[in-house]
Amino acid sequence: MKLFFLFPLTLFFLCTTASIYEHPLDPLTPSEFKLVRTIVLKAYSATPPTLTFQYIGLDEPDKALVLSWQYSNPKTKATKLPPRRAFVIARYKKQSLEITVDLSKRSIVSRKVHTGHSFPMLTFDEQDFVAELPHKYKPFIESVNKRGLNISHVVCSTFTVGWYGEIKSKRTLKLQCFYTEGSSNLFVRPVEGITVVVDLDERKIVDFIDRLSVPVPKAEGTEYVTAKQKPPFGPTFKGAAFLQPNGPGFKIHGHSISWANWEFHVGYDIRAGPVISLASIYDIEQHRYRRVLYRGYISEFFVPYMDPTVDWFYKTYLDSGEFGFGQSMVSLEPFADCPANAAFLDAYFAGEDGIPVKISNAICVFEKYAGDIMWRHTESEIHDEEIREVRPDVSLVVRTVSTVGNYDYIIDWEFKPSGSIKMGVGLTGILGIKGTSYTHVDEIKEDVFGTLLADNTIGVHHDHYLTYHLDLDIDGEANSFMKTNLETVKISDKSLARKSYWTVVRETAKTEADARIKLGLKPSELAVINPNKQTKPGNKMGYRLFPGTVGHPLLVTDDYPQIRGAFTNYNVFVTPYNKSEKWAGGLYADQSRGEDTLAVWSFRNRSIENKDIVLWHTVGIHHVPCQEDYPIMPTLSGGFELRPTNFFERNPVLKAKRPKPVRLPKCNSQP
């Protein structure tokens, strides 16, 4: 792995190798991908594309083995690494194969054929191949010509088809095409009315419909590429310098990061994207690192559009399970996606042929100085004395960006010295646009399922649901889920001036049913606690969930997209830890039928009190497009926070010292 730090004047390079900082949760290396490829292809006497690799990722060791290694003697860690294995989903003879490869033994240790209805994650290679098929298909060419369009400016993109009650299904995609003449912003210029269906296994067009023709939205005013834009420009910003004379405040060893009072591991998965593991915080009073988060990542991303018409009804995506949130990660731009003080890490995944693909600058890590205040107080009540104490806030951010079709998703994991972990998501990119004949809202007499943004341009209503898998280990694995309900108490004592107050009633969830929560229905605080440990005053140690953006599904529960996305029916689930329960939408998400989701697992109603438990939290955003979102959308931010609650004896940053100011030399003003 190569990483580098960017500063305004100097570029520092630091090279490491996986063998120096081996860790049981490190992502697979390029050499390991190649070894997996060799072993699997040899076992099946096959070559791509007869056999394709839909997923290759770390088959993570059992949690007990990882924790045993983590807290073993540092001098003997290298000799106690758990066995290194890879989990593979391959497509062969129209079947999905599940294969586990032992990398140390260089052999396959398990294999089986998936017998369910759904299909594995799509690869970029197969999507790119079928997206070119319409350009050689005569009926499609004729449809483009009759619309007066130049086919050399037509670009097609792939869209998963979901499931709508079919008894049997093939591995198909639909293609929608767009027009690029006059603007790079292809997604705002759909060629509406043409449906192309392709079979991914056969890699051919199996159905074609030209149902209607509406005007292609105009190119004027849609260009976002700087070099192609025309004046006037604005607004204009002044540049800013960022200096760290003593270098960054964090250290990266392999995939392990230490900063201030935090230690954690950053991994990568082709489906999940960034994975944060083994996050611990140093307690200056206990003189030790204390466990907070064993493993955290985005498990699924559900994006249903609200247009039920024949050309749009199927657009209800599971972005992680169908397209791969990690596969969709893009290279980050220094000084733009990430500030000048950022360090960058590369990531690797296997293409459908099993050959490693590199994402340069896939992850950035930086200290965030945003001008925020960590804590402060001014005291003027003391006679002849005024006290003013302020601590500026500093945090450490791990950032990635995934571009899934038209949308760009900015994913932040922000660690604060106060003990909080903030998860941030930024939505930007291009809206889902539908072509129309309308040019003014006064012409519209029926539901168009969106907002008219410009001539012939409708931004379709839709939702974004990000479901996080958060395996919290609050000072150990044995945890419970506590609901602190705020309830009104009426005062009957007439001698008191008040008539009411609120108090708290605490409730510990005993089973999964007790922990399914729709946020916002009643005032309550939710926390994962360690029931076996308490502070000196006797409070249970824990971490509280501070929700941010909360959206509840508005589809009926028996609507097919909501059956697949039933893991969003509640904002919070809590399940007992199970290594196999990783993907909220199921291991096989493409054309899934809702048979293997978080909602299904939860209905087992297992015990979760004083157990190793996993908190699942869904960030939901209902999006009604507006003209400011067009032609490219300013970032819309959401997220949530995990915040210590009675975890420490007192404010853990009480004695934090202010960083020394860096004073820049004054420049003489020019007349």
Within 8 A by CB and 6+ apart from 129, the residues are 203
Note whether 6 and 341 are within 8 A (CB).
yes
Which pLDDT band, with edges at 50, 70 and 90, does 666 fall under?
A: low
Report which DSSP code applies to 445: -
Predicted confidence at residue 635, as pLDDT, reads 98
Residue 146 is inside which H or E element, if any? helix 138-146
Q: How far apart are CA 147 and CA 138, in angstroms?
A: 15
Note whether 316 and 561 are within 8 A (CB).
yes
Predicted confidence at residue 20, as pLDDT, reads 39
Q: How far apart are CA 475 and CA 419, in angstroms?
A: 13
pLDDT at 80 over 90: no
Angle at 617 between CA 647 and CA 410, to 5 degrees: 100
pLDDT tens digits along 289-347:
999 999 999 999 999 999 999 999 999 999 999 999 999 999 999 999 999 999 999 99
pLDDT tens digits along 335-375:
999 999 999 999 999 999 999 999 999 999 999 998 999 99
User: The dihedral of CA 600, 604, 607, 612: what is its sign?
Assistant: negative
Predicted confidence at residue 7, as pLDDT, reads 43
pLDDT at 4 over 80: no
Predicted confidence at residue 539, as pLDDT, reads 97
Predicted confidence at residue 12, as pLDDT, reads 32
Q: What is the mean pLDDT of residues 107-130?
A: 97
Choose among 491, 484, 567: nearest CA to 523.
484
For the ranges 21-25, 179-183, 495-499, the lowest mean pLDDT is seen at: 21-25
The DSSP bridge partners found for residue 457 are 435, 454
In angstroms, what CA-CA distances link 550 with 15, 16, 546, 619? 42, 41, 11, 6
**Which residues are designated catalytic?**
319, 407
Q: How far apart are CA 438 and CA 444, in angstroms?
A: 7
Q: What is the mean pLDDT of residues 21-31?
A: 91
The pairing of beta strand 256-259 with beta strand 262-269:
antiparallel
Q: What Rg, from alpha-carbon coordinates, does the chain have?
A: 27
Predicted confidence at residue 667, as pLDDT, reads 55
Strands (E), 417-552: 421-429, 433-435, 450-454, 457-460, 462-472, 478-490, 500-508, 524-534, 540-547
Note whether 424 and 639 are within 8 A (CB).
yes
Q: How large a percentage of the chain has pLDDT more than 70?
A: 96
Strands (E), 114-261: 154-160, 172-179, 194-199, 204-210, 250-253, 256-259
pLDDT at 147 over 80: yes
In angstroms, what CA-CA distances link 492 with 239, 410, 489, 496, 499? 63, 53, 10, 9, 7
Q: How far apart are CA 18 and CA 253, in angstroms?
A: 10
pLDDT at 9 over 50: no
Note whether 138 and 146 are within 8 A (CB).
no
Note whether 222 and 456 are within 8 A (CB).
no
Q: Give the number of other CB atoms < 10 A from CB of residue 336.
A: 7
Q: What is the mean pLDDT of residues 450-473?
A: 98
Which pLDDT band, with edges at 50, 70 and 90, does 3 fall under?
A: very low
Predicted confidence at residue 632, as pLDDT, reads 98
Structure tokens at 603: 């209905």
Q: How far apart are CA 402 and CA 326, in angstroms?
A: 7
Q: How large a percentage of the chain has pLDDT more than 90?
A: 89
Choose among 347, 356, 353, 332: nearest CA to 273.
347
Residue written as token pair 């190793």:
612
pLDDT tens digits along 614-659:
999 999 999 999 999 999 999 999 999 999 999 999 999 999 998 8
Report which DSSP code applies to 235: -
Cis omega before residue 215 (within 30°)? Answer: no
| Three-state secondary-structure class, residue 600 | helix
pLDDT tens digits along 534-565:
999 999 999 999 999 899 999 999 999 999 99
Predicted confidence at residue 199, as pLDDT, reads 98
Name residue 273's amino acid.
Answer: G
Which pLDDT band, with edges at 50, 70 and 90, does 665 fall under?
A: low
Structure tokens at 131: 């997206």
Name residue 373's amino acid.
Answer: I
Higher pLDDT, 671 or 145: 145
Average pLDDT taken over every residue of the chain: 94
Q: Give the number of other CB atoms < 10 A from CB of residue 627.
A: 12
Residue written as token pair 């976002």:
224
Taking the alpha carbons at both ends of the chain, their separation in whole angstroms is 51
pLDDT tens digits along 582-604:
999 999 999 999 999 999 999 99
Structure tokens at 577: 């830890």
